[in-house]
Amino acid sequence: MSCILRAGGENFEVEKFIEQNSMKPDSFWKKGDRCFSNSNTNFKLNETSGIRILVSEADFSELPQQIEDAILFFAKHKSEIVKLTSFQGIEGIDLDFGTEAHQTGWSSFTFPPQLMLLAGTLGVSLCISIYPFDED
């Protein structure tokens, strides 16, 4: 998964939101549940509840396509995103773009004004998660 809309908060009733909204979650977590339920060594508990919604399935190497998909997603789901931002218990929402960084020493990423305006108007932060890429 390359671009996701992630929202959460300490008192967010994630299952109630899922019942009342048409955006389907890719995954969700609940406060008090184990972060890594299949782990035999990590018993850490979630401190918040939250939801992840898939925005783009474009590869990590296709950031421009992820951005285009995000603009279309925001246009299509604007009313649902407004409901999410104002849903009781939500403390933050971000649009997370997963991309890869080559071993060149630097990377530059640019977001178009249209996406920044849509995200800002809806109260959504932009985030970039950079994953190492080894060309060998």
Q: Where are the domains of the chain?
A: 3-132
Question: What is the rounded CA–CA span in Å between residue 117 and residue 121?
Answer: 6
Positive/negative CA dihedral, 15, 16, 19, 23: negative
What is the mean predicted confidence (pLDDT) over 29-34? 87
Q: Give the residue from 59, 56, 75 showing the smallest Cα distance to 115.
A: 75
Query: Over the stretch 9-27, which tens digit does the pLDDT of each residue have?
Result: 999 999 999 999 999 899 9
Confidence of residue 108 (pLDDT cuts 50, 70, 90): confident
Answer for the pair 5, 93: CB distance below 8 angstroms, yes or no: yes
Q: What does pLDDT average to over the chain?
A: 90
Neighbours of 23 (CB within 10 A): 18
Q: Residue for token digits 């971000």?
A: 94
Global pTM value? 0.87
What are 62's strand-pairing partners? none
Which pLDDT belongs to residue 1? 61
Which pLDDT belongs to residue 38? 77
